[in-house]
C-alpha cells in the first residue's frame, strides 16, 4: 500500500525524488517556500513523467494517476499527514538543522524523517531534530529517476524498526538500497569526490584540454561520462561543498577542493545549470 511522502525542496533533486515516489505508487506532498519554485518543481515532475511515457516506460493512464497523487504546500505544516518526509534543500548544515527541528514539530511522532544530504553529518541533523531515533539518511543520486542507488545512512541513534522501514522504502522504489554508516561522504562520495578533485588537479597541472580528458577517461577507463562533464552535471558548487564537508569531517586537507574549482564557482561557472563550467552548454 502506498505511503504519503513529503519532499521538502523542489529543486532538481527534490523534483526527481518526488517523481520516483509517485511512480512507485506513493502520494507526494512537495514543499517549497517560493511559489515559483513550487511551480517549477511541478513542471519538472510533469516533464519527467512525460519522458517516461515517450520512452514506453510508463503508460499515459499511470502518468495521470501519478500526477493526481501530487500536491504541494508552502511550509512544513502541510506535512502533518505524511508517513515519511525527505529533505532535499541546500547543503547548509544550519538550514538543515533548523528544518528538521521544524519537521519534528509539524509531523506525527512515528514519521520517519530522512535527509538527502550527500556529505553533511546525518547524526548532527538527527540530534538537531530532537527526534534522533526517527531520522535516517536517504541519499539519492542525480538524476534520481535514473540512478539506481540510494545510500541508506544509519546513525547510532536510529531505531532499528525505523531503519528497516527506510531500507524497505528505498527498495520499494526499485532502487539499490545500500546500508552505510554515517561517515563523511558515506560510500560513493568518499571515493568519488577526491577522484574528481584529482581530475581537476591533473587538468590544472598538465594543461590538457577538458574535452580530451573526458574522452580519455571514457575510452580508457570505461566511464560513461568524463570527470569534468560529471562535475558540470552535479554542479561545481556542489562538488566544492561536498569536498569541504568531507575534508572537515575527516580533518584531512587532501579532500579539499582544488583552487580551480573555487575560481570557477567565484565566476559563476557552475556547469550545466549556468550554461558554462569546464565545458560550454549555451543557455542553462
Catalytic residues: 118, 139, 151, 189
Task: Report the C-alpha dihedral over residues 91, 96, 98, 104, rounded to 10 degrees.
Answer: 160
Three cell numbers at 128?
A: 538537531
Determine which helix (DSSP H) or strand (DSSP E) holds 139, and give its type and residue range: strand 135-140
Quote the distance between the C-alpha of residue 111 and its chain's center: 20
The CA distance from 227 to 208, in Å, is 13
β-strand pairing of 176-181 with 149-154: parallel
The CA distance from 184 to 162, in Å, is 22
Of the candidates 238, 212, 207, the residue with the CA atom closest to the CA atom of residue 226: 212
Number of other CB atoms surrounding residue 63 within 10 Å: 18
Quote the distance between the C-alpha of residue 89 and its chain's center: 9
Residue written as grid cell 529517476: 145
The CA distance from 116 to 75, in Å, is 18
Cα angle for residues 72, 142, 69 (degrees, 5° grid) = 25
Of the candidates 61, 79, 69, the residue with the CA atom closest to the CA atom of residue 45: 69
Q: How many angstroms separate the Cα of 168 from the Cα of each of 15, 46, 127?
A: 21, 26, 23
Amino acid at each position: 500500500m502506498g505511503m504519503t511522502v513529503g519532499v521538502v525542496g523542489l529543486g532538481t533533486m527534490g523534483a526527481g525524488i518526488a517523481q520516483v515516489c509517485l511512480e512507485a505508487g506513493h502520494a507526494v506532498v512537495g514543499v517549497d517556500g517560493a511559489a515559483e519554485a513550487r511551480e517549477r518543481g511541478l513542471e519538472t515532475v510533469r516533464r519527467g513523467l512525460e519522458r517516461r511515457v515517450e520512452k514506453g516506460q510508463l503508460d499515459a493512464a499511470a502518468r495521470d494517476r501519478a500526477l493526481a497523487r501530487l500536491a504541494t504546500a508552502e511550509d512544513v505544516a502541510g506535512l502533518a499527514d505524511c508517513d515519511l518526509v525527505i529533505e532535499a534543500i541546500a547543503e547548509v548544515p544550519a538550514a538543515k538543522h533548523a528544518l528538521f527541528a521544524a519537521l519534528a514539530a509539524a509531523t506525527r511522532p512515528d514519521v520517519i524523517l530522512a535527509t538527502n544530504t550527500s556529505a553533511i553529518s546525518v547524526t548532527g541533523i538527527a540530534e538537531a531534530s530532537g527526534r534522533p531515533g526517527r531520522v535516517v539518511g536517504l541519499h539519492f543520486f542525480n538524476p534520481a529517476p535514473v540512478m539506481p542507488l540510494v545510500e541508506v545512512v544509519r546513525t547510532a541513534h536510529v531505531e532499528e524498526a525505523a531503519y528497516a522501514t527506510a531500507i524497505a522504502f528505498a527498495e520499494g522504489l526499485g532502487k539499490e538500497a545500500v546500508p552505510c554508516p554515517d561517515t563523511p561522504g558515506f560510500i560513493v562520495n568518499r571515493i568519488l569526490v577526491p577522484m574528481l578533485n584529482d581530475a581537476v588537479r591533473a587538468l590544472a597541472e598538465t594543461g590538457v584540454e577538458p574535452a580530451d580528458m573526458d574522452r580519455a577517461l571514457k575510452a580508457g577507463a570505461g566511464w560513461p561520462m568524463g570527470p569534468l562533464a560529471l562535475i558540470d552535471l552535479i554542479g561545481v558548487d556542489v562538488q566544492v561543498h561536498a569536498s569541504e564537508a568531507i575534508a572537515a569531517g575527516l580533518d584531512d586537507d587532501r579532500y579539499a577542493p582544488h583552487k580551480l574549482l573555487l575560481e570557477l564557482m567565484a565566476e559563476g561557472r557552475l556547469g550545466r545549470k549556468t550554461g558554462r563550467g569546464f565545458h560550454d552548454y549555451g543557455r542553462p
